[in-house]
């Protein structure tokens, strides 16, 4: 208590004499840098030469460390952040390898995170004091309970339209799940239930309790009960099912590694519905203004959308993602179209509920049409625990059909005579409420896609006989085999 009062007093003094304090602090910084420079590289040698040097260096290190921790506590967003992450030695930040090179220590991200947070606050502070220029639009409400509204700037050039938010509070601060950027955390399922399962969620995991091992504890933390451990739900294992050896789930040090993909069995044993291989007339997309549209940002709206999706034989899906100055990034929007409706889902507001989409996305009878799904699949799995069983990718179809270009814009042009405005591809999709032009762009990414799917599927059928025996799996495109229902090679019937 006394300590924090003292600190507050210090802060007040600093603020009250701001210019002088900054000058003094800068002077001290220059002095410290020069002194450190004069010490040279061989500190260990100097320490052995003179005991007092050793003692004073140790004291200085301790003071620096304690100041760094104080700084971190002041900057960190929550008390939990602060207490979870004290720096105990310089090795936590940077470590020298035997070869003399430096690598980051286990707490290095604290420093980058703290600097990031500081710069963001400076940015917001500057925004607050500078007068808002006329071309700024002020956003009025927030979908994820942000305290301050974003200043949305729109810079129009001939070819690009960069829409970005200047003082956007970070939406990830509102996520219930803490974003974990550390490379050592093993992948864990975000789902506890597995709709349309052909094998249980823990299929392939070792059947016996891995007592006492790191893996056993890891599974327990995740709430994954093991058969034979007195668990409530016994696992029905198919005879002859491959059982993943416990050693595959733990590295050499016994640290748990990633769990297997929850839908691996369903995807690798996928059989497409037979209707997919029957030619059918292409269904024209609904007129834009006559198509019912919903922005889905509440549980109720999500429920209504899922009820609507339940009857659809095929749906179009696209995602918008944010990863500018963000390590992993996060999904901001999910666009979904059926033959009759368009939806844009606020993936920030509904992040924790979107696993409910598995009722549709994991249903092998429902064809999910994406354009270039490589990233989308990863983002769905990572952010929501949403898995796709039954994928048709129009990007890959455009390759099989030897089309001249493979972008969605090209397909829209060729099949729909619609000229997509791809200027918004790099817009800041965190902005809420979403400006009308951006919403229109997002919606257009799926609105026409089922019609494009119809056209391409029919073209593929026509070309089917030509393709018999041809190897259509494009190397390096992992989802490609899904195109024709899990086959990599086109076979005659
Ligand atoms: P799209 O499928 O074109 O709607 O793109 C989905 C997301 O991918 C966008 O929201 C961006 O985050 C990212 N993205 C698309 N194109 C690019 C690009 N050229 N450079 C960087 N990111 C991109
Ligand atoms: Mn996309
Ligand atoms: Zn898109």
- The atom of ligand 1 lying closest to the CA of 408 is 3
State in Å: Cα 423 to ligand 1 middle.
11
State in Å: Cα 455 to ligand 2 middle.
19
CA angle 160, 165, 170 (to 5 degrees): 135
- The atom of ligand 1 lying closest to the CA of 442 is 4
Atom 22 of ligand 1, residue of closest alpha carbon: 426
In the DSSP assignment, the letter for residue 65 is H
Specify which residues 322 forms β-bridges with.
Answer: 330
pLDDT for 443 equals 97
State in Å: Cα 411 to ligand 2 middle.
13
342 CB within 6 A, ligand 1: no
In residues, how long is the chain?
493
In the DSSP assignment, the letter for residue 88 is -
Which ligand places an atom closest to the C-alpha of 393? 2
Q: In a mutational test of the pocket of ligand 1, which residue from 374, 379, 425 has the highest number of ligand atoms less than 8 Å from its CB?
A: 425
State in Å: Cα 174 to ligand 3 middle.
24
Tell me the CA distances in angstroms from 208 to 201, 204, 213, 227, 231, one per residue in order: 16, 11, 12, 6, 11
Atom 4 of ligand 1, residue of closest alpha carbon: 320
pLDDT for 106 equals 78
- The atom of ligand 1 lying closest to the CA of 426 is 11
State in Å: Cα 340 to ligand 2 middle.
20
218 CB within 6 A, ligand 1: no
- The enclosing H or E element of 165 equals strand 161-165
Atom 21 of ligand 1, residue of closest alpha carbon: 426
Question: E-assigned strands of 308-438?
Answer: 314-322, 330-337, 342-346, 367-370, 391-393
State in Å: Cα 305 to ligand 2 middle.
20
pLDDT for 229 equals 39
376 CB within 6 A, ligand 1: no
425 CB within 6 A, ligand 1: yes
Which ligand places an atom closest to the C-alpha of 442? 3
Answering whether pTM is above 0.75, one says no
In the DSSP assignment, the letter for residue 354 is G
Tell me the CA distances in angstroms from 135 to 104, 149, 167, 403, one per residue in order: 42, 16, 15, 42
Which residues are found with C-beta within 5 Å of the ion, ligand 3? 318, 445
Q: Which tokens sit at 319?
A: 């995602």
pLDDT lower than 70: segments of the chain: 1-8, 76-85, 127, 130-164, 166-167, 180-187, 206-258, 465-493
State in Å: Cα 234 to ligand 3 middle.
42
Q: Which residue has the tokens 């918008």?
A: 320
- The atom of ligand 1 lying closest to the CA of 332 is 10
pLDDT tens-digit map of 172-189? 888 887 776 666 666 677
pLDDT for 136 equals 36
- The atom of ligand 1 lying closest to the CA of 422 is 3
Atom 20 of ligand 1, residue of closest alpha carbon: 426
How does 228-255 read in b/e, with b if 16+ C-beta sit within 10 Å? eeeeeeebebeeeeeeeeeeebbeeeee
318 CB within 6 A, ligand 1: yes
Q: In a mutational test of the pocket of ligand 1, which residue from 377, 412, 426 has the highest number of ligand atoms less than 8 Å from its CB?
A: 426
- The CA distance from 281 to 211, in Å, is 58
- The atom of ligand 1 lying closest to the CA of 323 is 12
State in Å: Cα 319 to ligand 1 middle.
9
State in Å: Cα 269 to ligand 2 middle.
26
- The atom of ligand 1 lying closest to the CA of 333 is 10
- The atom of ligand 1 lying closest to the CA of 429 is 10
Q: Find all residues with CB under 8 Å of 266, minimum gap 6, and list them.
A: 196, 197, 198, 199, 362, 364, 389
């Amino acid at each position: 208590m006394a300590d924090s009062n003292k600190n507050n007093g210090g802060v007040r003094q600093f603020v009250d004499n701001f210019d002088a304090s900054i000058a003094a602090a800068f002077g001290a910084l220059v002095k410290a840098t020069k002194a450190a420079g004069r010490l040279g590289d061989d500190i260990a040698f100097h320490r052995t030469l003179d005991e007092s040097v050793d003692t004073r260096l140790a004291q200085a290190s301790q003071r620096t460390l304690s100041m760094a921790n104080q700084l971190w506590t002041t900057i960190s967003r929550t008390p939990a952040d602060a207490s979870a992450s004290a720096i105990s030695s310089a090795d936590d930040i940077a470590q020298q390898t035997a070869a003399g090179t430096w690598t980051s220590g286990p707490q290095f991200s604290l420093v980058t995170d703290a600097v990031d947070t500081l710069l963001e606050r400076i940015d917001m502070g500057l925004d607050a004091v500078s007068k808002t220029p006329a071309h700024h639009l002020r956003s009025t409400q927030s979908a994820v309970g942000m305290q301050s509204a974003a200043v949305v700037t729109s810079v129009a050039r001939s070819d690009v339209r960069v829409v970005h938010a200047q003082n956007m509070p970070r939406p990830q601060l509102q996520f219930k799940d803490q974003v974990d950027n550390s490379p050592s955390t093993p992948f864990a399922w975000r789902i506890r239930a597995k709709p349309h399962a052909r094998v249980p969620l823990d299929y392939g995991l070792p059947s016996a309790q891995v007592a006492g091992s790191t893996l056993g504890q890891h599974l327990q933390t995740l709430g994954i009960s093991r058969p034979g451990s007195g668990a409530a739900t016994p696992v029905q294992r198919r005879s002859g099912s491959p059982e993943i050896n416990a050693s595959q789930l733990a590295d050499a040090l016994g640290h748990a590694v990633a769990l297997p993909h929850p839908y691996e069995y369903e995807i690798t044993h996928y059989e497409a519905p037979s209707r997919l291989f029957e030619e059918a007339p292409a269904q024209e997309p609904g007129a834009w203004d006559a198509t019912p549209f919903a922005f889905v940002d509440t549980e109720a709206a999500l429920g209504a959308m899922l009820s609507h999706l339940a009857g659809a034989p095929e749906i179009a899906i696209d995602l918008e993602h944010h990863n500018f100055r963000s390590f992993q990034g996060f999904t901001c929007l999910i666009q979904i179209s059926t033959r009759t409706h368009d939806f844009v889902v606020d993936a920030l507001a509904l992040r924790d509920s979107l696993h409910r989409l598995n009722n549709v996305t994991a249903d092998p009878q429902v064809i999910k049409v994406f354009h270039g799904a490589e990233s989308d699949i990863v983002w769905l799995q990572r952010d929501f625990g949403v898995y796709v069983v039954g994928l048709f990718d129009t990007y890959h179809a455009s390759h099989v059909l030897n089309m001249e270009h493979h972008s969605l814009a090209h397909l829209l042009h060729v099949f729909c005579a619609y000229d997509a405005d791809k200027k918004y591809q790099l817009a800041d999709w965190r902005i809420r409420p979403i400006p009308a032009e951006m919403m229109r762009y997002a919606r257009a990414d799926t609105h026409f896609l089922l019609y494009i799917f119809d056209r391409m599927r029919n073209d593929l059928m026509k070309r089917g006989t030509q393709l018999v025996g041809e190897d259509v799996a494009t190397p390096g495109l992992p989802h490609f085999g899904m195109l024709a229902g899990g086959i990599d090679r086109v076979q005659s019937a």
